[in-house]
Chain A
C-alpha cells in the first residue's frame, strides 16, 4: 500500500480542536500520523500543502444522484466525480429516485452501483413513506438494516401530522434521524418562487415563506413530543431560522441545514442579472466579474425558492451563531432541455457540489462571519454526528478522507468543465474565492487540480 504525505499545510480538524501547520501521513487508507516534521516513508507520495488548508474530507448530506431511473440527469459515477471536484469525500443521496428508495432491494442496487462506480463514499437515505406518497409508512426498519443513514421524503413533505408523528415514533426504535423538506402544501399550492415583490412584479405564483415556517413549527412540536431528532433541510426563511433557534435553546432535538444558493442569491435574481446586481448582489462580484442572465431564468428556480435579502441575512446569522450547524448543496441536476422551458414548467433544483465550498468561504469566511474551523465543522463533524458516521475527523486511525483547499485562490467556475451530467447552475462564470485542490478518499487521491484520477 502506498502512502501520501501532506506536507506543511494548515491542518484544521474541528473534531479535535486542531488548527496548526503540520504534516499528515496517510497510509493503508487510514490517517497514520499528524505532526510537524514527519519522516517521509520510502513509498510515499509527497504533496506540498504550503498555503493550503488540510481538513477532514467534506460531507454533503443532501445530494440527488438520480440513479436509478433518472440517469439522463446524473448517475453515481458522474455525481460522485462532481463531488470529488467540489472537495467532497462523502455524500448522502436523497431517496427520490425512480423507483424511490423505499425498499431494501433498491438500497442494495444503489450500493452495488456505488461500489463499482463511485469515487467518493456514497451513503443513502430511505423514504419516510412508501413511494414518497405521504400516505403509508415505508419499511423503515428494513431500510435501516439495508444500510440507510437517515430517512426523508425530500422533495416532498408529509402533510398528515399523525403520519409524521408515527413515522418519528417508529424511527426512534432504530435510532435513525429523520430529515424533512419543510413545505405546507395547502399554503404553497403551485407557487414557483418566493412570494413577495418579485413574484408580484413578474406575475409568477408565490411560495410564501410561511409555507416553510408552518412545517418547521410543526416539526419542533413533533420532535418534542416524540423525542426523535428532526433535521430540517435547506432552510430558506428568516422566521424558520428563528423558530429553530428558540427550539434549540429549550433543548428540542432539532437541527437545520443551509444551502449556499440561499445565502448568496435572492429572489431578485429571477428578475434578471441586471436587477440582482443593482440591488441584492452589489457586494458579491466586482462590476467586471458580473455575469449576465435573463429574467425568468429557470436556473434560479429551486425548492425552497430564493428569498429576500432579509432572509439571506438571517440564514447567515443562523450559521454564525450555530443555529444552523450543517451546510449542504441540495445538488439537483436536471437536463438542459428540461430547464429550457417556461419558468412555470421547469423542474425545481440546481447543481451545487462544485461551487458550494467556494460560496461558503466567500459568504461566511471571507465576509467575516465564521472562522475556517467553524465553517469546516458544518461540512464535517456536524453532519457526521447527525448521521452517526465514522467520518469527519483527522484523528489518527480514522479513515483517510481528506480535503485540501486554498481558501484564497480566485477562479472562474465553468459549469461545462464539471464531470456532472448537468449544468443547471446560476453560478456559471462566477469568480469564486476559495478552491479545493485535492480530494482524498481512503488514502487515494481521487481529484486534484482539474482532473479526476483514473
Chain B
C-alpha cells in the first residue's frame, strides 16, 4: 500500500502508485456497500465536516454517506462564498470548524486553490470536493475506478472527454488521473471551451467530434453549463447539441463496447441523446455507486488507515 498523504488536494501531485492504492482500497469498500450491513468501524469516533461553500447535492450526499458507512460522525456546513467577502474569512471559519475538533474537513469551494489554502494552516485532514475550475479529485477517482472495473487495465485505453473543458474541474482531474495511469486522452468541444493550451497537459485536442470518437474506449461527457458561462463562449444550446451532442450515429464511430460516462447532472437531449443515457453502454449510475466506495477509501486513507480496520 502506498499512501502517506495527510490531505487529498488534487490528482496532479499524486503518483500512479498512490492512485492505484486508492482504487484498490475502494474495491474493498465497494464490497462493504454490497453487504446487508453496510458499515465498518474504520472511522468510529472521528468527526468529519462537509464544508460546502458552493451548492452541491450529489457530491455532498456521497461524502456524507461515505463517512457514515465508515462510522464517522459527520456534519454538513454549507454557506455562500459571498459571505466571506463581507464577514468572516474562510481561514477563520475553517479554524472555527477545526476548533470543534474536526478530524477531516471536506471542502467544496468555487475559488480554485481554496483546499490548498486551508491545508497550509489546518491540523485537520483536508479533502478537496471540487475547487472552482481546478480539480475534483474524487470524481476522477470514481471515474477511473469505474473504467478499471469495466475494462481491466487503464493503460492504453482511448478516453475522450467531451464538452466544457475550460471551466471543468472534472476534466482536469480526469486528465491527470488517466495520463498517470497510461490512457490516451482526447479533449473535444467548442474551440472557445477547449483551448489548445490543454495539449501541454499531455492530451490531444480536436474540434471534430467524429475524429474525437474514433476508436474511443470511453466517452466521458461533461455538462454544458451555458447558464453559468459568459454568453460569448458559444451561441446556443441548440448549436451545441447539433455539433457536439452524442447520438447513436456518432457513437458508432467509437469502439462497439465503448463506455458512456457522465458526472451528472446530465442534460438529456443536449450533450447526450436520451436513450443512450439509459442504454447498455452507459455506466452513469454505476459511477454514482462507485463514488461512495472511492470516497470511503479517500477518507480512510487520509486518516492514516490501517488494513486491519478496513475489514473489522
Task: Report which A residues bind B (CB closer than 8 A).
Answer: 189, 196-197, 200-204, 294-296, 337, 340-345
Contact with A along B261-293 (1 / 0, CB 8 A): 000000000000000000000000000000000
> Given the complex, which residues of A lie within 8 Å of B117, measured CB to CB?
294, 296, 341-343
Taking CB atoms, residues of chain A closer than 8 Å to B155 are none
Residue from the set A197, A202, A203, A337 with the largest chain B CB neighbour count within 10 Å: A203
- Other than the known A201-B172, A202-B112, A203-B132, what 9 A-B pairs have Cβ atoms closer than 8 Å? A197-B200, A203-B133, A204-B113, A294-B120, A340-B89, A342-B111, A342-B114, A344-B132, A345-B85
> B230 on the interface (CB 8 Å rule)?
yes
Residues of A within 8 A of B198 (CB): 200
Q: Smallest distance from the beta carbon of A304 to chain B beta carbons, Å?
A: 19
Q: A196-B197, A203-B132, A203-B172 are in contact. Are A341 and B84 (CB under 8 A)?
A: yes
8 contacts between A and B (CB under 8 A): A203-B134, A204-B112, A204-B132, A295-B113, A296-B113, A342-B113, A342-B114, A343-B113
Contacts of A294 in B (CB 8 A): 116-117, 120
Q: Is the CB of B112 within 8 A of A343?
A: yes
Query: Are A344's CB and B112's CB within 8 A?
Result: yes
Contacting pair A341 B91 (CB below 8 A): yes
Q: In this assembly, does B305 line the interface, its C-beta being within 8 Å of a C-beta of chain A? A: no
For A341, the chain B residues whose CB sits under 8 A away are: 84, 89-91, 117
Q: How far is the CB of A281 from chain B (nearest CB, A)?
A: 18
Bound CA span A67–B271, Å: 54
Q: Bound complex: CA of A38 vs CA of B132, how far in Å?
A: 67
8 closest A-B pairs by beta carbon, nearest first, are: A296-B113, A203-B134, A203-B133, A342-B111, A203-B112, A344-B111, A343-B113, A200-B197
Output the least CB separation between A406 and chain B (Å): 36
Least Cβ distance of B65 to chain A in Å?
Answer: 27
Question: Restricting to B8-25, which residues have a CB under 8 Å from any CB of A?
Answer: 12
Contact of B230 among A189, A200, A203, A295 (CB under 8 A): A189
CB of B135 closer than 8 Å to a CB of A: yes
A272 (CB) vs chain B CBs: closest residue: B116
Q: How far apart are the CA atoms of A235 and B149 in the complex, in Å?
A: 53
Q: How many angstroms from the CA of A202 to the CA of B169 in the assembled complex?
A: 9
| A367–B200 CA distance with the chains assembled, in angstroms | 30
State whether A203 and B200 are in contact (beta carbons under 8 Å apart), knowing that A340-B91, A343-B111 are contacts in the complex. Answer: no
Which single residue of chain B is at the shortest CB-CB distance from A296?
B113
Q: Which residues of B contact A189 (CB under 8 A)?
A: 230
* B90–A296 CB distance below 8 A: no
Rounded to whole angstroms, the CA-CA distance of A296 and B169 in the bound complex is: 16
B195–A200 touching, CB < 8 Å:
yes
Contacts of B91 in A (CB 8 A): 340-341
In this complex, what residue of B is CB-closest to A337?
A: B89
Q: In the bound complex, do residue A202 and residue B89 qualify as a contact, i.e. CB atoms below 8 Å apart?
A: no
- CA A340 – CA B195 in complex, angstroms? 31
Asked if B64 is at the interface (CB within 8 A of a chain A CB), the reply is no
Please encode chain B, from 82 to 115, with 1 for each CB lying within 8 Å of some chain A CB and 0 for all others. Answer: 0011000111000000000000000001011110
**Is the CB–CB distance between B113 and A202 below 8 Å?**
yes
In the complex the two chains form, what is the Cα distance from A203 to B113 in whole Å? Answer: 9
User: Does B61 lie at the interface of the complex (its beta carbon under 8 Å from any beta carbon of A)?
Assistant: no
Residues of the B chain whose Cβ atoms lie less than 8 Å from the Cβ of A295: 113, 116
Does residue B217 face the partner (Cβ distance < 8 Å to A)?
no
- Nearest-CB residue, chain A, relative to B176: A201
B131 at the interface (CB under 8 A from A): yes
Q: Which residues of B contact A202 (CB under 8 A)?
A: 112-113, 134
CB of B5, distance to nearest CB on chain A (Å)? 15
B1 located at the interface, meaning its Cβ lies under 8 Å from any Cβ of chain A in the complex:
no
Residue among A196, A202, A337 with the highest chain B CB neighbour number at 10 A: A202
CA distance A333 to B64 in the complex (A): 42
Taking CB atoms, residues of chain A closer than 8 Å to B134 are 202-204
Given the contacts A341-B84, A342-B90, A201 and B201 also touching, CB distance less than 8 Å: yes
Q: How far is the CB of B286 from chain A (nearest CB, A)?
A: 27
A342 CA to B109 CA in the complex, in Å? 10
CA gap between A345 and B91 in the complex, in Å: 12
Residue among B81, B85, B116, B169 having the largest count of chain A Cβ atoms under 10 Å = B116
- Determine how close the nearest CB of chain A comes to the CB of B132; give it in whole angstroms: 5
Contacting residues, chain A, for B132 (C-beta < 8 A)? 203-204, 344
- Give the distance to chain A from B11, nearest Cβ to Cβ, in Å: 12
Measured in the bound complex, the distance between the Cα atoms of B133 and A202 in whole Å is: 8
B109 CB, min distance to chain A CBs, angstroms: 7
Q: Which A residues are in CB contact (< 8 Å) with B12? A: 201
CA distance A294 to B91 in the complex (A): 16
Alpha-carbon separation in the docked complex, A202 to B10 (Å):
10
A-chain residues with CB within 8 Å of residue B200 when the two chains form the complex: 197, 200
Separation of A337 and B91 alpha carbons in the complex (Å): 9
Per-residue interface assignment for chain B, residues 54 to 95, with 1 indicating a CB less than 8 Å from any chain A CB and 0 otherwise? 000000000000000000000000000100110001110000
The reply to whether B89 and A197 form a contact with Cβ atoms under 8 Å apart is no
| Chain A residues near B135 (CB-CB < 8 A) | 203
- CB-defined contacts of B195 to chain A, threshold 8 Å: 200
> In the complex, what distance in Å separates the CA atom of A202 from the CA atom of B116?
11
Q: How far is the CA of A197 from the CA of B230 in the complex (A)?
A: 21
